[in-house]
């Protein structure tokens, strides 16, 4: 098995194996499915390699340290809706100051994660 399926299987098995290992509590812990979704998307954008897996896992961990999951989810939803070509309806996910602030918070966290994990 090669390509995206292999990368997905590898990521899933690593996440499953890590679930049983003790780790310190993180104040803003993200659900496993959200972490896996981020890592899989990040890996697809970065070549689906073992190095990409390490860097992408590091990236979502850094983001989780910097912003609470509720803020991440708000920004992620807004960005997905903006990309969905909803025409005028996408304005509600772009224009309100709270939405813009959430997206800015996520982008700052992603920038910090990039500096930590991709350098």
Confidence of residue 99 (pLDDT cuts 50, 70, 90): confident
Count the alpha carbons within 13 Å of 68 in the hemisphere toward its beta carbon.
Answer: 3
User: What would the pLDDT profile of 11-51 be if each residue is shown by its tens digit?
Assistant: 444 444 444 444 444 556 899 999 999 999 999 999 999 99
- The CA distance from 50 to 99, in Å, is 34
CA angle 92, 72, 55 (to 5 degrees): 130
The structural domains of the chain, with segments of one domain joined by +, span 4-117
The number of angstroms, rounded, from the C-alpha of 118 to the middle of its chain's C-alpha atoms is 14
**The whole model's pTM is what?**
0.69
């Amino acid at each position: 098995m090669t390509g995206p399926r292999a990368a997905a299987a590898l990521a899933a098995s690593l996440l499953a194996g890590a679930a049983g290992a003790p780790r310190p509590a993180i104040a803003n812990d993200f659900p496993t499915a959200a972490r896996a979704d981020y890592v899989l998307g990040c890996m697809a954008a970065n070549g689906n390699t073992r190095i990409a897996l390490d860097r992408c896992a590091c990236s979502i961990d850094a983001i989780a340290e910097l912003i609470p999951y509720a803020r991440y989810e708000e920004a992620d939803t807004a960005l997905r809706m903006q990309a969905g070509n909803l025409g005028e309806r996408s304005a509600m996910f772009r224009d309100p100051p709270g939405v813009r602030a959430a997206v800015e918070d996520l982008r700052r966290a992603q920038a910090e994660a990039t500096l930590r994990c991709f350098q």
